[in-house]
Amino acid sequence: VDEAGEREFTEYFRVRRDAVRRTAFLLCGDWHRADDHAQAAFVALHRHWRRIRDHAALDAWMRRTLVRAVVDESRRPWRRERSTAEPADGTSVPSASDAVATRHVLVDGLRSVPPRQRAVLVLRFLEGLDIAGTAAALGCTEGTVKSQTAHGLATLRMVLGDSLDDLRPAG
Amino acid sequence: MTDDERLAALFRAAATDTAAPPPRFDHDDVVAASRRITARRRSAMAGGALTVLAVLGIGAVVAIPGSSRDDATSTAAAPFAASGQAGPGDAAAPDGAAPELAAPVPPAGGADVPQALRGVPPFTGTPLGPGTAECADRQDPALRAFVEQVLPEVVGAPEAATTMECRPAGERGVNVEVRDGDAAGLLTVQYLPPGVIVSLVSGAVSAPTASGGTVVIYSRPAETGAPVPFAGRVDTAAAFLAPRL
């Protein structure tokens, strides 16, 4: 990376680090792993900086790299995350009476959603991508995004029950 | 407020964690890691190129035709070069029958070797063994070179995104986005050093290697239910890689 490229990267890192960490956190549910994933994505970005011609698409590139890394990690051949439709140990989920509880309830619930479905939910509802954008980020069809969204939300609702009213369909 | 808007607000609230720990990395960490990887990759590529040159040199010496039967024996040990070519000893073969020495050398393992590997000479080099980098290379060039020999579709395949988690130094890995005919997906090949016990997920294949480690191969489709790349060839790949790692 030349000097100008280094300056651009430094600025991009300064502006985007926290957002990338937050996305990684919701994708994996753990701040330490989120830092690992976010750092890995930035390292990959730095290594590919010269080859990424469309710098307007940097966010999309980072999103794609981050999501794939998290999903890839969860699918390591000898340590797969276990998906469950029930809260661990059958314990009740805390009520969402305030913002802190809301955060914990949702993050705990997301841990029970399979990684790829979780990625779809995070891209759509945190990153604000539409179906086409989510499909592009994940390298899958729009139909897959729709079905994964439905399955992911269904799992989340099943896990959380009535803890989060906002997860109930309106009407 | 629509369902999507309510969900978006919920996700944003969940992601805004005021109790989040401070970042464990800064800009300097990122740049240093990037440069370290680039330097290591260049070094590995240079080493790989030297290895290829050395192998080509040995192959050339072995394949030089001579006039004695001993030379024919040497040629038979390199069937890729000798196949279909009349060697100096062939003229003496009665009734044009293929000379016995030109037959493929049975690989070590005999009946246990997959059909696809019959005819491939047994590997007599030094097994690759555990990696020596500070952290395991998730895209190990030396391992990839072997993978490309048994799965040629891997040649030119883009590297898949992997984490920068520092895996134990003895491991080696190759993670590539592959296309095998109509099947597309992700191929993961991992060498684990001696003493590492693993439990495999469904679909993954493992084999003990010559250095006492384990090779794990896992091919999965890009989408659930889609055709799996290299379906039916993963066992063969594991059998090919085992004596080389």
A78·B27 Cβ contact <8 A: no
Asked if A31 has any chain B CB less than 8 Å from its own CB, the reply is yes
Percent helix, percent strand, percent coil in chain B, to nearest 5: 40, 15, 45
Cβ neighbors of B201 (< 8 A, separation 6 or more) are A75, A77, A78, A80, B218
Structure tokens at B118: 């019959």
B10·A167 Cβ contact <8 A: yes
What pLDDT does residue B239 have? 92
Asked if A24 has any chain B CB less than 8 Å from its own CB, the reply is no
Residue of A nearest to B24 (CA): A35
Of A9, A18, A44, the CB nearest to B161: A44
pLDDT in tens, A72-89: 776 666 543 444 333 333
Asked if B28 has any chain A CB less than 8 Å from its own CB, the reply is no
Residues of chain B with pLDDT under 70: 1, 17-18, 41-115, 118-119, 134, 161-166
Asked if B15 has any chain A CB less than 8 Å from its own CB, the reply is yes
> Facing residues of B187 across strands?
B176, B219
Cβ neighbors of A35 (< 8 A, separation 6 or more) are A21, A24, B23, B24, B25
What pLDDT does residue B64 have? 36
pLDDT in tens, A116-169: 899 999 999 998 899 998 988 888 899 999 999 999 998 888 877 766 665 555
A170·B9 Cβ contact <8 A: no
Asked if B164 has any chain A CB less than 8 Å from its own CB, the reply is yes
The values of phi and psi at residue B178, to 5°, are -120, 160
Asked if B38 has any chain A CB less than 8 Å from its own CB, the reply is yes
pTM over 0.90: no
Asked if B95 has any chain A CB less than 8 Å from its own CB, the reply is no
Of B16, B34, B200, the CB nearest to A46: B34
Chain A contact set for B136 (CB, 8 A): none
Residue of B nearest to A63 (CA): B161
B15·A23 Cβ contact <8 A: yes
Mean predicted lDDT score pLDDT of chain A:
79
The values of phi and psi at residue B183, to 5°, are -90, 130
**Closest-CA distance of chain A to residue B48, Å:** 21
B33·A39 Cβ contact <8 A: yes
Chain B contact set for A9 (CB, 8 A): 31
DSSP state of B118: T
pLDDT classification of A100: cutoffs 50, 70, 90: low
What pLDDT does residue A88 have? 38
Chain A contact set for B173 (CB, 8 A): none
DSSP state of B159: B
Global ipTM: 0.76
Determine whether A60 is exposed, middle or buried from the number of CB atoms within 10 Å of its CB (0-12, 13-18, 19+): middle
Among A10, A14, A30, A43, most B C-beta atoms within 10 A, so best to mutate, is A43
Residue of B nearest to A70 (CA): B163
Structure tokens at B68: 């004695």
Give which of A127, A117, A107 is closest to A19, Cα–Cα. Answer: A127
A47·B3 Cβ contact <8 A: no
Give which of A159, A16, A170, A127 is closest to B12, Cα–Cα. Answer: A127
| Per-position DSSP letters for B57-100, written without gaps between them | HHHHHHH---SSHHHHHHHHT-HHHHTT---TTGGGSGGGPPPG
Q: Is A128 strand, coil or helix?
A: coil
CA distance B61 to B122: 18
